[in-house]
């Protein structure tokens, strides 16, 4: 088994330069412990203060945002899921209807959804994940130390 693959060169949360190199066991997608603790949590859409296991994974959300941000063109749901799986692997946090249900976690000023003959396409602006989150989720994550 070799060293884990990491497609990103900046932190998935704050967009800072990554300092730790990937190892055999960890890919180290974040810049440090604080960002890791903020990402290693799930938020419920209706009440983000409740830290339950059945909420939305922040790592999954950040991987969706990173993939859409680096795409350069609008992506359909199937194109997005294909790119996420090729970059980050086939993780259990990536469900079939993930795009349409998770886009509500982001500030509408930073994404655009267009309806085409092939379905909906998603496009986002080039801003870090912590800027793109809606304020009610960002406020909860900022309290994590």
Strand locations in 1-145 (E): 42-43, 56-57, 75-76, 111-116, 119-124
Indicate the CATH number of 54-133 among 3.10.105.10, 3.40.50.300, 1.10.10.10, 3.40.50.720.
Answer: 1.10.10.10
pLDDT for the residue numbered 142: 85
Number of Cβ atoms within 10 Å of the Cβ of 136: 13
Residue 25: pLDDT over 70: no
Q: How many percent of the chain have pLDDT more than 90?
A: 21
Q: Which of 84, 82, 76 is nearest to 115 (CA)?
A: 76
Q: Hey, what long-range contacts does 90-96 have (CB within 8 A, 24 or more apart)? A: 91/60, 93/57, 93/59, 93/60, 94/60, 94/63
Domain assignments of the chain as residue spans, ordered by start: 54-133
pLDDT digits (tens, 9 = 90+) for 108-144: 999 999 998 878 889 999 999 999 999 988 888 888 7
């Amino acid at each position: 088994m070799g060293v884990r693959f990491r497609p990103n060169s900046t932190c998935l949360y704050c967009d800072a330069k990554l300092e730790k190199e990937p190892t055999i066991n960890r890919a180290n997608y974040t810049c440090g412990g604080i960002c890791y603790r903020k990402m290693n949590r799930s938020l419920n859409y209706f009440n983000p203060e409740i830290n339950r296991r059945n909420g939305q994974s922040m790592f999954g959300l950040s991987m969706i945002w990173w993939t859409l941000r680096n795409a350069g063109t609008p992506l359909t749901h199937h194109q997005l899921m294909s790119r996420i799986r090729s970059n980050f692997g086939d993780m259990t946090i990536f469900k079939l209807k993930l795009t349409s249900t998770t886009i509500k976690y982001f500030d509408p000023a930073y994404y655009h959804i267009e309806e085409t003959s092939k379905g909906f396409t998603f496009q986002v602006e080039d801003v870090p994940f912590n800027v793109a989150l809606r304020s009610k989720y960002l406020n909860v994550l900022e309290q994590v130390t």
